Structure 1
Amino acid sequence: MTQNRKAGYCIISALASLQFGLVLLITIVLLSVFGTLIPQSEQLYYYQELYGQAAAAFLYYSGLTHVFSSMLFLIISLLLLINLSFCTCNRFKYLKQRDWNGYGSATLHFGLMVIIVGGLISGFFSHSKYYEVPVQSVMAVTDSGFDLRVDDFQIDYYENGQHQKQPRQYYTKLTILENEKEVGSKEIKVNHPISYKGTKVYQTSYGWLVQGNISVNGQQKNFSVPAGQTVEIAGNYYIKAIPAGETADQGFLYQLHHRERKQPFIGRANLNEQINLPEGSVQFSALKKFTGLQVKSDPGVPVVWSGFMLLTGGLFVKLYGGKK
Structure 2
Amino acid sequence: MTAAVSLWHKIFATPKRYFNREVLPLLADLKLAIALLLIIAVFSIWGTVIEQGQSLQFYQNNYPEDPALFGFLTWKVLLTAGLDHVYRTWWYLGLLILFGSSLMACTFKRQLPAWKWFTRDQKLYSKPQQFRKFALSAEVPSESITPLMEQLQQRNYRIVSDEHRLYARKGIIGRLAPIVVHISMLIILIGGVVGALTGFIAQEMVPSGQTFQVNNVTDAGPWAASQVPKDWSVKVNRFWIDYLPTGEIDQFYSDMSVLDQGGTEVDRQTIHVNKPLRHKGVTLYQASWSVAAVKVKFNNSPVLELPMGELKTKGGRLWGAWLPLDPNDMSNGASLVVKDLQGLVLIYDKTGKLVSTVRKGMAVELNGIRVSIVDLVGSTGLQIKADPGVPIVYLGFGLLMLSTLMSYISHTQVWGLWQDGRLYLGGVTNRAQVGFEREFLSILDTLEVLPDRVATPSAE
Task: Indicate yes or no: 2:239 matched with 1:153.
Answer: yes
Are 1:28 and 1:73, in contact at CA under 8 Å, matched by a contact in 2? yes
- Determine the C-alpha separation between the residues in 1 that align with 2:308 and 2:393: 37
Determine whether 1:315 maps to 2:404. Answer: yes
Output the amino acid matched with 1:197.
Answer: K
The alignment covers a number of residue pairs equal to: 265
Matched, 1:106 2:195: no
Post-superposition CA distance 1:11-38 (Å, at most 9, x none) = 3333332232222111101101211221
Given candidates 15, 19, 30, the residue that maps to 1:4 is 15
Aligned to 1:74: 93
Secondary structure (helix, strand or coil) at the match of 1:319 reads coil
Number of the residue aligned with 2:83: 64
Structure of higher CA gyration radius: 2
Give 1:153 deviation, angstroms: 0.9
What's the TM-score, normalizing by structure 1?
Answer: 0.72
Residue 31 of structure 1 pairs with residue 43 of structure 2: yes
- Give the superposition deviation at 1:83: 1.0
CA separation of 1:269/1:151 partners in 2, compared to 1, >3 Å: closer, same or farther? farther
Contact residue 243 and residue 252 of structure 1 kept, 8 A: no
Gaps of 5+ in 2: 1-10, 69-73, 120-170, 216-227, 294-306, 324-333, 338-349, 353-375, 412-431, 437-460
CA separation of 1:209 and 1:29: change in aligned 2, threshold 3 A: same
Tell whether the 8 Å contact from 2:291 to 2:319 is kept in structure 1 after alignment.
no
Using the alignment, how far apart are the partners of 1:251 and 1:56 within structure 2? 37
- Displacement of 1:6: 4.3
1:226 to 1:204, Cα distance in 2 relative to 1, 3 A: farther
Aligned match of 2:386 = 297
Question: 1:247 & 1:189 partners in 2: Cα distance?
Answer: 28
Residue aligned with 1:117, SS: helix
Residues 1:206 and 2:255 are matched in the alignment:
no
| 1:245–1:99 Cα change, 3 Å | closer
Match of 2:280 in 1: 197
- TM-score, scaled relative to structure 2: 0.52
Unaligned runs of 5+ residues in structure 1 are 211-223, 230-241, 254-267, 271-286
Which residue among 227, 238, 263 is the counterpart of 1:181?
A: 263
1:166/1:244 Cα in 2 relative to 1: closer, same or farther (>3 Å)?
closer
The code of the aligned residue for 1:140 comes to Q
Distance 1:152-1:314 versus aligned 2 partners, 3 A rule: same
1:208 touches 1:290 (CA, 8 Å); kept in 2? yes
Deviation, 1:156, is 0.9
Displacement of 1:305 in angstroms is 1.3
Map Cα deviations across residues 123-164 of structure 1 (whole Å, 9 max, x no partner): 1112221111122222112512321111211111112xxxx2
Measured in 2, the distance between the counterparts of 1:149 and 1:103 equals: 51
Give the aligned CA root-mean-square deviation in angstroms. Answer: 3.0
SS at match of 2:408: helix
Aligned partner of 2:450 in structure 1 is none
Match of 2:113 in 1: 93
Q: CA deviation at 1:245?
A: 6.2
User: Any conservation in 1 of the 2:204–2:214 contact (CA below 8 Å)?
Assistant: no
Mapping for residues 277-296 of structure 1, pairs under 5 Å: 289-296=378-385
2:191 to 118, 134, 141: 118
State the alpha-carbon separation in 1 of the partners of residues 192 and 61 from structure 2.
31
**Percent identity (aligned):** 25
User: Conserved in 2, the CA contact under 8 Å of 1:105 and 1:315?
Assistant: no
Which of 167, 173, 192 in structure 1 is aligned with 2:249? 167
- 1:280 aligned partner: none
Helix, strand or coil at the partner of 2:107: helix
Deviations 1:232-254 (A, max 9, x none): xxxxxxxxxx998654424599x
Q: 1:8 is paired with a residue of what secondary structure?
A: helix
How far apart, in 2, do the equivalents of 1:85 and 1:246 lie?
Answer: 60
**Does the 8 Å contact 2:50/2:84 carry over to 1?**
yes
- Bigger mean CA offset, 138-147 vs 192-201: 138-147
Whether contact under 8 Å (2:251, 2:272) holds in the other structure is yes
Asked whether the equivalents of residues 308 and 321 of structure 2 are also in contact (C-alpha less than 8 Å), the reply is no
Once residues 252 and 45 of structure 1 are traced to their aligned partners in structure 2, the CA distance between those partners, rounded to angstroms, is 29
Indicate which of 170, 182, 201 corresponds to 1:128: 201
1:92 Cα offset (Å): 1.9
Which amino acid is 1:166 matched to? E
Which residue of the partner structure matches residue 18 of structure 1? 30
Secondary structure of the structure 1 residue equivalent to 2:83: coil
Separation (CA, whole Å) in 1 of partners of 2:53 and 2:108: 37
- 1:94 partner SS: helix
2:287 aligned counterpart, secondary structure: strand
Letter in 2 for 1:93: P
Change (3 A) 1:297 1:269: farther
Q: Quick one: structure 1 residues 244 and 318, their matched pair in 2 at CA, closer, same or farther if it must change by over 3 Å? A: closer
The aligned amino acid for 1:194 is: L
Distance 1:172 1:19, change over 3 A: same
User: What is the rounded CA distance, in whole Å, between the counterparts of 2:410 and 2:318 in structure 1?
Assistant: 70
